[in-house]
Amino acid sequence: MIEKLSEANNWLLMGGRAPGGSLKHVLMDRLIPSDLPAQSLVADLSAGLAAVALAEVAEARNLRCRAYVPPNILPVYLEALRKTSAEVVITGSLESALQELRTGHDSQELFWTRQNYSDCDAYGHLTPSLGVDHLVAGVGTGCALRCFGAHLRARNPRLQVHAVYAAVSGLRPPGLALDLPGLPDVGSPAYLQQRLPGLQVHTVEAPDSTAAVLQVLKDLKNALGVSVDQR
């Protein structure tokens, strides 16, 4: 999953080669408590890939799943969701979806996965002994950048974090994935700079996240690159 690239001590982590299928599968598996009883209901709101990961992880762990998704969900994600046993709720209202999740979680009708979320802990186990001076991460919704950035900066406060946007990526626009009123533009440079002060932003002409990350990595030493391509 992590491979060394060069004598410059650069590394590349491929999101699509993570255990279970993607970094989102790793995240969802860690967010769901290991002692949650069989057939418990887990639920969350997602633009697509995280919902697919939640549904697939839940099914593998003999849990029920409810996925709230926006009307603009990509067909490939909707198709993948419908191949699972998950209950798919297409919603145009962020507030109503969040209210249902809060109410269900508080009444213990369901387990809302993001209530168990921590930027620092989500992916830390994937880089247990890696000490780097730079993190170079592709941006979709910005989740991987925030998680790895927070974790690695806790080890090295002088870590320089680079957000990489592939200008020709085929991905939906960063931060616009849910496209619901009231939702922060979570993949935007402004939002990410609030979460990770000193963030450097790169927009790279590249066909995908991997190519964009590699282009930025070639000018750095002692760096970890994280690709968000799901392949």
pLDDT at residue 176 in the model: 40
Q: What is the pTM of this model?
A: 0.74
Architecture of domain 32-116: 3-Layer(aba) Sandwich (3.40)
CATH of 2-19+119-227, one of 3.40.50.720, 3.30.70.1230, 3.40.50.1100, 3.40.228.10: 3.40.50.1100
CATH 3.40.50.1100 in the chain is located at 2-19+119-227, 32-116
What is the per-residue pLDDT across 22-50, written as a single tens digit (0 to 9) for each? 788 888 888 898 899 999 999 998 877 88
Residue 59's pLDDT band (cuts 50, 70, 90): very high
- Mean of the pLDDT values across residues 70-99? 89
89 contacts 97 by C-beta, under 8 angstroms = yes
The answer on pLDDT for 171 being more than 50 is no
Query: Of 29 and 231, which is predicted with more confidence?
Result: 29
Query: Of 227 and 42, which is predicted with more confidence?
Result: 42
